[in-house]
Amino acid sequence: MEYTKEEMMIITASKMLQNGEVCFVGIGLPSTACNLARLTHAPEIVLIYESGTIDTKPHILPLSIGDDILAETASTVVSVPEIFNYWLQGGKVDVGFLGGAQIDKFGNINSTVIGPYRNPKVRLPGAGGAPEIASNAKRTFVIMKQSKRSFVDKVDFITSAGFLGGGNERKDLGITGEGPTCIITDLGILEPDPETKEFLLTHIHPGISLEEVKNNTGWELRISENLKTTHEPSKNYLEVLRDLQERTSNSHSQSTL
């Protein structure tokens, strides 16, 4: 069954999640991957969104954290301060799932500006709750399409902390979460070196060449000695993902009529 690079990325990312985990979800690709996991191998995963919705089970993908589908399908809704103070800072979130506009070789995420902060080329949507998620979730997963524009040697602005300058810098500053444990892209999977914390390629997707991955990375990408090839997506995952996206598209199209 044929599939696109984006479908490969989303399905690979969804499989990183385990049943029963508590996951703080970002909008966009992270939300798609998390809900796909819920609809397939992880039906008991607890999805939390920034607006205060806990254990939400949307039948379509939300447009934003304020989408009413999240509250309608949640087990409970609490205040935003409670989500961050009691759940996130209280150590109850297993995985924070994020995206961004830029990411660098140490997993720092930029969703603030492209170019100088005071005179940017592009002003991006901003931080939202991502800095707190990246700092306090036990682990952080990142999902992004890979290109030299988005995978840079050093981000223009650190919105959400990865391993900062590498090594033990994150730990030395007392940031509690483990940090980004993987970056899932449309070309493969990157994971941090245990010592330097620089991200290296550990998995490559079927049909992708090393040259293509290197050409879409803004630093001299290291390749794992045990480089693996990710599994192709199964027919079941593809069908569930496409059905979810089709239902979402149809619902949002009708709402604008």
- The reply to whether 255 falls in a domain is no
- The reply to whether 190 falls in a domain is yes
- The reply to whether 119 falls in a domain is yes
- Domain of 141 in residue numbering reads as 5-250
pLDDT value, residue 252: 80
Residue 225's CATH number: 3.40.1080.10
Task: Give per-residue pLDDT as tens, 158-191.
Answer: 999 999 999 999 999 999 999 999 999 999 999 9
List, by residue number, the catalytic residues.
50
pLDDT value, residue 126: 87
Per-residue pLDDT of the chain (257 residues), as tens digits, is 899 999 999 999 999 999 999 999 999 999 999 999 999 999 999 999 999 999 999 999 999 999 999 999 999 999 999 999 999 999 999 999 999 999 999 999 999 999 999 999 999 988 999 999 999 999 999 999 999 999 999 999 999 999 999 999 999 999 999 999 999 999 999 999 999 999 999 999 999 999 999 999 999 999 999 999 999 999 999 999 999 999 999 988 876 55
pLDDT value, residue 255: 62
What is the tally of structural domains in the chain?
1
Q: State the Cα–Cα distance between residues 142 and 20, nearest whole angstrom.
A: 20
Question: End-to-end alpha-carbon separation of the chain, Å?
Answer: 34
pLDDT value, residue 85: 94
Q: Which two tokens stand for residue 59?
A: 């039948």
Q: What is the pTM assigned to this prediction?
A: 0.95
- The reply to whether 163 falls in a domain is yes
- The reply to whether 81 falls in a domain is yes
For the CA atoms of 32, 33, 36, 38, what is the dihedral angle to 10 degrees?
-110
- The reply to whether 54 falls in a domain is yes
pLDDT value, residue 250: 93
Task: Give per-residue pLDDT as tens, 193-225.
Answer: 999 999 999 999 999 999 999 999 999 999 999
- The reply to whether 256 falls in a domain is no
In which residue are the tokens 């939202």 written? 128
- The reply to whether 105 falls in a domain is yes
